[in-house]
Structure 1
Amino acid sequence: MRLLVFGKTGQVARELQRLAPDATFMGRNEADLLNPAACARAITATDASAVINAAAWTAVDKAETEEAAATVVNGEAPAAMARAAAAKGIPFLHISTDYVFDGAGDQPFTPDYPTAPQNAYGRSKMAGEQGVRAAGGPHLILRTSWVVSAHGANFVKTMLRLGAERETLNVVANQIGGPTPAAAIADALLTAAKSMIQGAPGGTHHFSGTPDTSWAGFARAIMTEANLPCQINDIPTTEYPTPAKRPLNSRLDCSAFTSAFGIPRPDWRLGLKAIVKELTQ
């Protein structure tokens, strides 16, 4: 399998480099997503048998004031990539987010649930999904949530840093979702890419870690795993205001993805154990 991957330094891209070191990885210097045409040209010129887009605008709060730029990166660039891949007849795999939903209720969102993003980041990612589908080629849109790893900026690394500095932390307890190890996402993308190269259908799917928990519950698990005595105090979202509105419900129904590709939801507790071990070695 010859792979072209957009992204080098992001959490999923770093894990893809571990699992598929022979793939071609394009960072911002080689293909800047602020230049969608350049990204499309890279696909036109490739001899890859599949393309994975693991690059994105992930600064959720910053997108509130820079929505136009976020929409180019998360919306226009994936659409241009998907059109170029469709022209070559090769699968295009794209990572999306639970933020395309309204975050209401307490039931897991199915892939066909109506989208209604509540912030600029979510709107930019929804635009990308629409562009990928409109391209008409073989594609996989993989929505995920709460991505964590030993790389980049993420909740696990923040909690480990603060937990080592403080005796107590206030963490939101009424936002519920599935933390998802980037390593599991990378592995799932590679498995799906192999299947799609052989003709398996793609579509829009969900993939997140299990069991669902709150940010506060996740924080307590992090402290326990790292043997940090820091106490976690539950607070509501209203006590932790952010520029971008966060969904209270980030639960994702991943059963269709498991049925289609034989990939079960990953246990984030095992992923957390591996992340903490890597960071403390």
Structure 2
Amino acid sequence: MTTPAWRIVGEVAAGEMWAAVAEHPAVDTVDRTHLDPRTSIGLFLSAQPNASQGRFLASDWTRGHARMGRIVVVPGDLPLHVQAQAAPPRRMLHCRLPIRAGLPRPSGPGLLARCLDVRSPGIAASLARLAQEVAAPGFAGATLIEGLGLVVAAELARELAGAERPSVGGLAGWQLRRIDDHLAAGHWDCTISDLARLCGISAAHAMRAFRQSTGRSIAQHVAALRMARARDLLAGDAHDIAEIAALLRFASPSAFAAAFRRASGVSPGNYRRSIGRL
């Protein structure tokens, strides 16, 4: 039997993080093995429950196929056999997590079974936010995608291995200035990894230390500065909206318009006209 092709409705890559929202057609049966060198995680976005069952092909998996939940993790280089009968149409978020997150390989049937049905509210909330951003990218762009990926990886490490978040200090003044200077130069599509390299630290450290220093995430900071720049450009008449979208590194004028409306409640054109009346 030939498996019908998925249809990817949104896809984003940021640093080592990859995420896509895909629509899967109805199938009579599911019988396949998933294997990826990177740890992957999936979120079932459809209203109906996941009807699939999975079994890790590993010596420490001592049971048969088990029910899979709404969130499923497949550790890197660990084959997962999936089977189901009469699977309905379904919509899913698929992610490959950053390699540098250093996720431990779960061992033993208990931890492996938890991979098939992850029930962490924090992971669920981050994945839902990822799905929203993939479907309609906003002003935070790549920084938000990568940041959410690192958050999911950290939460997953604690969920599966009890890892504790290390204690770190905030960023130095020169590091904060270097981040702002890089953004002011127009690098709006940079990733957290890019900004971390400028500061000589890891991406995970940058996320924690930036929030400790500023009270907000890197993604929130990038979105706020990008939005402020958008308003400045719209207040002038040197560039049309398509040119502003390009300057702000949006994929298209329509993507810029959608992000601006979501952030401000008005379209770029209406905002420009309202400024002109003042």
TM-score normalised per structure 1: 0.25
TM-score normalised per structure 2: 0.25
